[in-house]
Amino acid sequence: MAAGKDWSPETYARFWGLRLRPALDLLAQVQDLPEGDVVDLGCGNGAVGPALAALFPGRKLIGIDQSPAMLAEAAATGAYRRCLSEDAAMWEPATPPALIFSNAALQWLGDHDTLLPRLAGSVAPGGTLAVQMPRQFNAPSHRFLREFAADMFPDRFDFVDWHPPVRAPVDYHRLLAPLGQLNVWETDYIHRLEPDGVGHPVRRFTEGAAMRPFLNLLSPSETEAFAARYDEALAAAYPAEDDGSVLFPFRRVFIVLQMPAHPF
């Protein structure tokens, strides 16, 4: 199921504070970089760019993304030396960077058994690969999307052979521990979402990312029916609190791999 249409920076940024927090938690665990550039792989709208630039002053910060709209927003932050339109699955650095930082991007790509070791091997000796990905795919917020799409539009959606794109933390530990000094962990964030009068708050959150591939294949009338069914199910799974807000648990996995200063 392809992403199709370009990303909407405005929709994605609607919950920018909640989306930024995991990136800063990941960044806090990056230590002792060698000389070299910093790459924001899948930089999106550049939300993490100012933090990366502030933490690593004097280094060239490069943003990589495929979305023209997102890259334009990233460039406008002024944090990046260059913003390049490239496919993260195929991207290779011209020179080994000190840090490849990827926040909520690699879940869109397959074959992590090959991708993550390849990225780790492309950093400079002593450099770091730091990755954060959502692991929310079996939660109601994401499971409902697959179930309702397959039920309502079987001509376009088939999840019979579907597998979660992000695996358990122990799987990434087994994959990457032989390569260097590794820190893998998982965090459940509890997001308090305020109602805004347009659909369930969780639906409004997923519209910026998880819901995109589904909406890209639906007509306006189909979108309306799909969203109505989704809203109804979300109201049962994530009921409103007394003040009207909704508590939304969201799980993310983190990987920080520092490569040896001298290759084995």
Give the model confidence (pLDDT) of 34-58 as tens digits. 999 999 999 999 999 999 999 999 9
| Mean pLDDT, the chain, integer | 91
Residue 11 has pLDDT above 50, yes or no: no
Residue 12 has pLDDT above 70, yes or no: no
Residue 219 has pLDDT above 90, yes or no: yes
Q: State residue 17's pLDDT score.
A: 60
Q: Beginning with the edge strand found earlier in the chain, give each strand of the sheet holding 181-193 in spatial order.
A: 82-85, 61-65, 38-41, 99-103, 128-134, 246-258, 181-193
Mean predicted confidence (pLDDT) in 253-262 = 95
Q: State residue 122's pLDDT score.
A: 97
Residues in the chain: 264
Q: Which helix (H) or strand (E) holds 62?
A: strand 61-65
Distance CA 116, CA 154 (A): 33
98: left (phi over 0), alpha (psi -120 to 50) or beta: alpha
User: Confidence band (pLDDT; 50, 70, 90) for 209?
Assistant: confident
Distance CA 19, CA 14 (A): 9
User: Confidence band (pLDDT; 50, 70, 90) for 208?
Assistant: confident
Q: State residue 7's pLDDT score.
A: 39
Confirm if 156 and 149 have CB atoms less than 8 A apart: yes
Structure token pair of residue 111: 């074959």
Residue 9 has pLDDT above 80, yes or no: no
pLDDT tens track for 182-205? 999 999 999 999 998 789 999 999
- CATH label, 9-258, candidates 3.40.50.150, 3.20.20.210, 3.30.1360.30, 2.10.109.10: 3.40.50.150
For 119-153, b where at least 16 C-beta lie within 10 A, e where not — what string?
bbebbbebbbbbbbbbbbbebbbbebbbbbbeeeb
Confirm if 195 and 243 have CB atoms less than 8 A apart: no
Q: State residue 263's pLDDT score.
A: 60
Give the DSSP letter string of 113-129: HHHHHHHHHTSPTT-EE
Give the DSSP letter string of 20-45: HHHHHHHHTT-----SS-EEEET-TT
Structure token pair of residue 32: 């002792």
Structure token pair of residue 213: 């591939």
C-alpha angle 127/128/134, rounded to 5°?
165
Q: For residue 252, give every residue at least 6 positions away whose Cβ sits within 8 Å of its Cβ, in sequence order, or none.
A: 22, 104, 132, 133, 134, 135, 136, 186, 187, 189
Residue 160 has pLDDT above 50, yes or no: yes
pTM: 0.90
